[in-house]
Structure 1
Amino acid sequence: MGHARLWKSVAKYVTLCQNLSNFPLMFTDNKDDRVTFITGFRRLKFFWMSMLLFSFSNFCGIVVIGGRWQHLGLFDDMALWKILIAAGFTALGLFIVAINLAFYAYCATLSEVFDHCLQLERQLNRLLNRRSSKKQNVFPLLLECIAYLGIFVPLFGSAFVILIQADPVGALCHGLFPEIFNNTKLSRALLLFRYCTCYISTRETYRGLWMVIFWAETMGQWLLQFAEHIGQLKNPQMFFELYIKYILIYTFLSPIAEIALLGGMSAAFIIGISGNFAALKLYYHVSFVLYVNMVIIAIVIPALMNFTIPLIIRTHETTCDVLKDKYLKYSYFRRRNPSLMKQVKSLRPLTPCAGISNYRLYRMDKSTMTVYGRAYIDYTINALMNVHV
Structure 2
Amino acid sequence: MADIFDKKPIAAFGEMAETGARPYYRTAAPDAIMAGCNDYLGLATDPRVVEAAAAALARHGTSCSGSRILNGTLPLHEELEAALADFLGCEAALVTTTGFQANLAVGALLGPGDASFSDMANHASLVDGVLLGQGSRHRYRHGDLDHLERLLAAADPDAGKLVITDGLFSMEGDLCPLPGLRELADRYGARLVVDGAHDIGLLGACGRGVAEHFGAMDAVDLFTGTFSKCFGSLGGLLAGPAGIVEYLRYTARPVLFSAAMSPASAAAALASLEIIRTEPARRERVFDHAERLHNGLRALGFSTGPSVTPVVPVHVGHAVPCLRMWQALHDAGVYTNAVVAPAVPRGRALIRVTPQATHTEEQITRILDAFAACGRRLGLVPERAEHDWTPVALARPKLTP
Q: In which range does the TM-score fall when normalised by the shorter chain?
A: under 0.3
* Larger Cα-atom Rg: 1
- Relative contact order higher in (CA < 8 Å, ≥ 6 apart): 2
- TM superposition score normalised by structure 1: 0.22
| Greater helix content | 1
